[in-house]
Amino acid sequence: MVYYDSASKVCKFEETKRFSHGTQADVFLYNDVVLKVYYEEVLCRIDPRTFDILKRIKSRHFINLIKRYSKEKNSGVVDAYTATFIKDENNLGEYTVEQFLSEVHGLIKLVDFLSSNGILMSDVHKDSLIVSEHIKLIDPDKYILCKMPKNVLMGENRCQVLNALKNYLKEYIDYTSDERVYDLFSIDKKGKVEDEMKERIGSKKYIMDYLVK
């Protein structure tokens, strides 16, 4: 695979190290770097200006973007990009309550920073989250620059991320023990833990009082 970077330098990648095959792109793994290559028919992809803004973000809660590539010089289209590989260890069960809340607060600060820079975080879902040492956002392919009022944009972005986290938690509690969930979320032992958790993480009061503060 031959591409041009933003400085029009030719870059070659081997095709034999495919890591995953998605609906919009192939992902290749080269040691600790992933190369995401969009399929030709995919029109909704990250644009160069948005990529360059996101590339400057150095946060423990966001994927580290490295370089963008095009199949043609100065095409103005991102056909592929590289990022630091993040192993999904799915170790939410090892978090204490304090650690979990600290991670969520960090995510909210990141969301507000992106909002202040006019970025709409479109298409964020539970699979956009990787939980390892920290909770990280990945796959910013559909983030876009927009002229939406900052307060409206912030609300929209917060809802996107908190809903993704909510759905991640719903899936998590399906296979963790009741005792661990009680410990992580400090739930009183009454009724079914799944019902209580789903009610709490699905309510506006929960989001405002428990996650956003």
End residue of a domain, out of 67, 84, 101: 84
Q: What's 23's DSSP letter?
A: S
Please tell me the predicted confidence (pLDDT) of residue 202: 52
Both 60 and 100 in a single domain?
A: no
Please tell me the predicted confidence (pLDDT) of residue 115: 93
> What is the three-class DSSP state of 186?
coil
> Alpha helix (H) ranges present in the chain?
48-55, 97-116, 150-172, 178-185, 193-201, 204-206
Which residues span the domain enclosing 46?
A: 2-84
Tell me the per-residue pLDDT of 88-113, one tens digit each, with 9 for 90 and over.
877 777 877 778 878 888 898 999 99
Please tell me the predicted confidence (pLDDT) of residue 98: 77
End residue of a domain, out of 84, 111, 142: 84
Best CA proximity match to 101, nearest among 174, 165, 176: 165
Q: Name residues whose C-beta falls within 8 Å of residue 174's C-beta, 6 or more positions apart in sequence.
A: 194
Answer yes or no: are the C-beta atoms of 145 and 50 closer than 8 Å: yes
Which CATH number belongs to the domain containing residue 139 in this structure? 1.10.510
The pTM score is 0.79
Paired strand residues for 121: 143
Both 110 and 132 in a single domain?
A: yes
